[in-house]
Amino acid sequence: MNVILLGPPGAGKGTQAQLIVKNHNYFQLSTGDLLRAEIKKKTKIGEEIENLISKGNFVSDEIVEDLIKSTIENLKFRDRIIFDGYPRNVIQAKKLDEIVRHFSQKIDLIIFLNVPRDIVKKRIMGRMTCEKCNVTLNEYFNVEEIELHPCGKEFLKKRKDDKEEILMHRYDTYMKETKPVLDFYANHDKFNELDGAMKMSEISNKINEILNV
């Protein structure tokens, strides 16, 4: 079963994708990871990607599609890929359908984690990381855990790059650009919209139920 996992920044897509990989033996396909891996391998495409990124340019859809094709055609990952945050637009969605059909596969399931703007704001702006043990807590959702934190509250620090205006702009941009993708998949018989405001464990349980049907 090939799965598309969609959701705005702060929805917890990465966390849920990792849990699916762990619990169901899937392969997590993240375009960012694919690009970084190609650069690390120092392939010809990797050098081209690094050159584009170093100049502040976007990597073309064609390069991304080539990397996705190489993953989908790999028998090791056949029918057990989770597309983490991809596709991002309708053109990519249509192309992905073409690619999976070419390799006699299909998109079996789409899961959209829908998170209200105010919850995303609290998740991002409230997160604190311990300088000693590296645990991440949230001042809005983990009040008791923060009070009882064994390392001491003084070691819990907010990230300097968590700037509200930048992060919320990313959220608004994602929701605007992804709406056509959601409309594209809305009539898919396996389209599932989940309340992303639930606790991560509750979301994970819902996803497990869907995957086990």
Please name each of the domains of the chain with its CATH number.
3-116+164-211 (3.40.50.300), 127-161 (no CATH)
Contact 116, 197 (CB under 8 A): yes
- Say how far apart CA 94 and CA 201 lie, in whole Å: 32
pLDDT given for residue 161 in this prediction: 65
Of 90, 126, 155, nearest in space to 10 by CA? 126
**Are 72 and 104 spatial neighbours (Cβ–Cβ below 8 Å)?**
no
The pLDDT value given to residue 87: 92
**For residue 33, what pLDDT is reported?**
86
pLDDT along the chain (213 residues), means of 10: 91 88 92 89 91 83 91 94 90 94 95 92 88 91 93 89 78 87 90 91 94 83
